[in-house]
Amino acid sequence: MSTASQDKRVAAFREYVKKMVSYGQALAILNWDLRTKAPRKGVEARSELLGVLSGEHFKLSTSDQMAEYLQALQEPDTFAALDPITQKTVLECKKEYERSKKIPPDRFQAFVVLAAQAGSVWEEAKAHNDFASYRPYLEKIVQFQLEFIEYWGYKDNKYDTLLDMYEPGMTVAQLDPMFATIRDKSVNLLDRIMASPHKRDTSFLTQNYDVAAQEAFSRYVIERVGYDFKAGRMDVSVHPFCTTFAPTDVRITTRFNPNDFQTALFGCIHETGHAIYEQNISMDLFGTPLCDGTSMGIHESQSRFWENMVGRSLPFWNHFYTDVVKAFPTQLEGISIDQFYYGINEVTPSLIRIEADELTYNLHIMIRYEIEKALIDQKIEVGDLPRIWNEKMKEYLGIVPDTDANGVLQDVHWSDGSFGYFPTYSLGNVYAAQIANVLKKELSDYEALISAGEFTPIREWLKARIYQYGKMKSPNELLHDITGELGNASYLVDYLEKKFSAIYHL
């Protein structure tokens, strides 16, 4: 093909992709509005609109036109001549195209219907502590996963195919040793913490904290950390989230608990971690599917780095302690910074994942990972889940749920077939510690910077190494370029050991 007609084809492809991405942005805005602003009566009409536009988006990504572009642009000489952004865009579109096309439309449709039913059945089952009514739905959901894996194909392990959706390139072979390390070291550390006589009063954190004051303080902190309010906004929603329409418009939400100091503030810092990533992706990638975080795990590494490794660190509060006492003088009267630091890092085994502390959180993930893997390997059955769940809770966390509602039924995720998603939370912690290890070596005054409230050098470092690339680098590539190795859990367990040994005088 002549260069001129090749250029024309590339331009047409990029235009086509931009249209697809625009549908995605419109959907994101409508979703954001639905979850933050829309009146109750408008929900049904909005859901219908979302359905229509998702359908259009799906058609564009799986059309004959897309197939034609992909075929032509993947021809080796043609592909080699493409610029790097177009190359990666072709590969991303190909991945999405194949994932969607390999499933027969009637089977996909049947799954969508089932997942919608399973969602409402789960809600009822959780409310009435009734696993038996949910069981047949979950069984069918798992069957669908197995069927889809056959369409998509797999190499060593069926579960790898599911992992790859959330963490491209991640495998059971890589995860198993990492998670075994986390599980064993965390269980051991937790035992020692529970036996430690060094316990302090933390009730000051759950007094009445005025919501308006919480909001003002949260906004102050996240702006200082580096959330750009000129390229975003913060609203309230039931479940906090971060959503991106463009790097110049990245929005976060939070929720307020008038009787808990930590919910809103640390939730805000968490979402800010996600948002700073998205606000710093190169604008060159805008209008392509690459203008996004590279994986769930890398994304979560940034939210958890800012929330836990920075936001729950002593240097951070060395800087903000005067401010927080000024914001809440009665609640924090007579509370030393040490007591405050202990309070925000207190470790308590608990039943509910989303309320777990920094250490025990990973153990909640281990339980879900082990169960998912065994279900997909068909080594256990859905009917066994309540028993297995409780056994693992006892083994890892030392507590047993009083009800299935507080146990196996607590998360919605399996209802829509999100298998392979939970591990990305712990991977986020693994990556965060691994990346922070390099960051601390290269920015030798890291702690002094945080104590001084100077977050710009840290943000700039992360932008140069991670944020700007969006999806241009795969998670493994990104991690290897920064740390010289693939995922390695030893940095996380060392970090946890050091931090909690100091707090609990172990």
Residues that bind Zn ion (CB under 5 A): 303
Cβ proximity to Zn ion: between 389 and 425 the closer is 425
Distance between CA atoms of residues 93 and 70, nearest Å: 8
Whether residue 304 contacts residue 357, with contact meaning beta carbons closer than 8 Å, is answered with no
Going by the DSSP 8-state scheme, the letter that residue 467 receives in this structure is G
Question: Nearer Cβ to Zn ion, position 303 or 362?
Answer: 303
- For every residue of 426-438, DSSP letters joined together read HHHHHHHHHHHHH
Q: Which is nearer to Zn ion, 287 or 428 (CB)?
A: 428
Whichever of 386 and 428 has its CB closer to Zn ion, that residue is 428
411 half-sphere exposure, CB direction, 13 A CA radius: 19
Residues classed as catalytic = 271
In sequence order, the 6+-apart residues with CB closer than 8 A to the CB of 12 are 69
| Closest listed residue to residue 182, CA positions, set 352, 351, 399, 359 | 359
The least distance separating Zn ion from the CB of residue 299, rounded to whole angstroms, comes to 7
Give the helix ranges, DSSP H, for 196-311: 211-225, 261-279, 296-304
Task: Supply 254's token pair.
Answer: 């939070």
DSSP 335: -
For the bound state, the minimum distance from the C-beta of residue 307 to Zn ion, rounded and expressed in Å, comes to 8
Please answer whether residues 295 and 167 qualify as being in contact, where contact means their C-beta atoms are separated by less than 8 angstroms: yes
| Rounded CA separation 469/481 (Å) | 12
Nearest CB to Zn ion, comparing residues 303 and 483: 303
Q: Which is nearer to Zn ion, 159 or 361 (CB)?
A: 361
Name the minimum Å distance from CB 429 to Zn ion. Answer: 11
* Structural contact between residues 484 and 330, judged by C-beta atoms closer than 8 angstroms: no
Shortest distance in whole angstroms from residue 99 CB to Zn ion: 23
Nearest approach in angstroms of CB 274 to Zn ion is: 6
User: Per the structure block, which two tokens stand in for 198?
Assistant: 């060094």
Scanning 128-209, the segments in alpha helix (DSSP H) are 131-152, 158-166, 172-195
Locus of tokens 């836990």: 308
Residue 252: CB minimum distance to Zn ion, A = 11
Which strands form 249-254's sheet, in the order they lie side by side? 234-236, 249-254, 242-246
- Smallest distance, Å, CB 489 to Zn ion? 19
Indicate the residue whose CB is closest to Zn ion: 303
What residues contact 38, with CB distance under 8 A and at least 6 apart? Answer: 46
To Zn ion, the closest distance from the beta carbon of 426 in angstroms equals 12
- Residue 290 or 296: the one with the smaller Cβ distance to Zn ion is 296
DSSP class of 326: H
Q: Which is nearer to Zn ion, 306 or 340 (CB)?
A: 306
Q: How far is the CB of 421 from Zn ion (least distance, A)?
A: 12
Name the residue type at position 336: S
Q: Which residues pair with 242 in a beta bridge?
A: 252
Q: How far is the CB of 62 from Zn ion (least distance, A)?
A: 29
For 329-336, the CB contacts below 8 A with 24+ separation are 331/204, 331/207, 331/208, 331/209, 331/261, 332/204, 335/204
Which H or E element spans position 317?
A: helix 314-327
β-pairing, 234-236 with 249-254? parallel
Structure tokens at 506: 């172990």
Measured between alpha carbons, how far is 256 from 482 in angstroms, rounded to an integer? 36
Question: Which residue, 266 or 469, has its beta carbon nearer to Zn ion?
Answer: 266
Nearer to Zn ion, 308 or 360 (CB): 308
Q: Helices (DSSP H) in 377-489: which residue ranges? A: 385-397, 423-442, 446-451, 456-465, 475-483
